[in-house]
């Protein structure tokens, strides 16, 4: 364990952090994480609605969140959305549409509220690049906040050769600090302290126990790496759970345990330093 890195990002329990958030999605998510003892978000990158729903039903008991890419689902429709929402209620998980908005405020408002997907109507959480500047956050917030939604900003990526720089990452945190009522955290590879003293959840993709990469630039680290060494909060796992030949239920249980054990280890490490 890298105590040096852990010392930079002291672990505070999910319970203690809950009152720091004003956005209802953040507190609801922390409640689910605590109640289910799961910091696992499963990324359901499947192209048939029935397959996404089947996976959601299988892994639902073991996750705090299901991440979707609505635009890869060939038969996406209102019936799919209704069924997904029912599963989210049945198993108690939040829905995160990984839309990665990246346009001017006016355009992203339309992309969020309208079109085929009407994302704001069903997804508790969406994410956005900060490349266009603050207008992207303001635009999404005008649509999402009245519907009690929340936003994550992309501050880092897991892929090899990413063009994100340290300055871009830091400026993304500064932008978040202007909208802590709507921005609840980041997609990033490590905890990102806020100059304004806000607390943010860090959701981390590129997590795998068995693979190191996918031949297309994805890079995998273990739950221990991201939670204990780098102070992240939620692990996002896709193919580690459902790649052909893997048993999604067994893998979801395995990643849930690995994620929770790593969280407990990070708490113990923080307590040991006191």
- Footprint of ligand 5BU on this chain (CB under 6 A)? 43, 45, 69, 98, 154, 157-159, 187, 205-206, 218, 236-240
Under DSSP, is residue 167 helix (H, G, I), strand (E, B) or coil? Answer: helix
Rounded-to-integer distance, Cα 83 and Cα 51, Å: 12
Beta-sheet pairing, 234-237 with 40-43: parallel
Among 146, 210, 145, which Cα is nearest to 180's? 145
Which residues are annotated binding-site positions? 45, 67, 158, 218, 238-239
Nearer to ligand 5BU, 239 or 257 (CB): 239
Q: How long, in residues, is the chain?
A: 274
Nearer to ligand 5BU, 88 or 270 (CB): 88
Q: Which residue is nearest to ligand 5BU (CB)?
A: 238
User: Residues with catalytic annotation?
Assistant: 98, 100, 103
Q: Token digits for 127?
A: 């994410």
> Smallest distance from the beta carbon of 80 to ligand 5BU, in angstroms?
18
Which residues are annotated binding-site positions for substrate? 45, 67, 158, 218, 238-239
């Amino acid at each position: 364990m890298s105590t040096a890195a852990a010392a930079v990002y002291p672990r505070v329990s999910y319970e203690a952090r809950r009152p720091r958030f004003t956005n209802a999605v953040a507190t609801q998510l922390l409640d689910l994480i605590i109640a289910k003892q799961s910091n696992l978000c499963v990324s359901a990158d499947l192209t048939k609605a029935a397959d996404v729903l089947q996976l959601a039903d299988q892994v639902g008991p073991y996750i705090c969140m299901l991440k979707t890419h609505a635009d890869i689902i060939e038969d996406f429709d209102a019936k799919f959305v209704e069924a997904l929402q029912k599963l989210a209620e049945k198993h108690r998980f939040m829905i995160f549409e990984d839309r990665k908005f990246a346009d001017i405020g006016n355009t992203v408002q339309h992309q969020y509220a309208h079109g085929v997907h009407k994302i704001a109507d069903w997804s508790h959480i969406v994410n956005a690049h900060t490349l266009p500047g603050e207008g992207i956050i303001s635009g999404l917030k005008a649509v999402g906040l009245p519907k009690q939604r929340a936003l994550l900003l992309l501050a880092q990526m897991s892929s090899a050769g990413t063009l994100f720089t340290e300055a871009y990452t830091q400026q993304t945190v500064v932008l978040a600090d202007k909208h802590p009522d709507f921005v609840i955290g980041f997609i990033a590879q490590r905890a990102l302290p806020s100059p304004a003293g806000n607390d943010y959840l860090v959701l981390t993709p590129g997590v795998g126990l068995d693979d190191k990469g996918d031949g297309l630039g994805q890079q995998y680290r273990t739950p221990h790496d991201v939670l204990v060494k780098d102070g992240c909060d939620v692990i996002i796992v896709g193919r580690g759970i459902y790649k052909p030949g893997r048993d999604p239920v067994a893998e979801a249980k395995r990643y849930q345990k690995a994620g929770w054990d790593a969280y407990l280890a990070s708490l113990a490490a923080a307590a040991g330093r006191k």
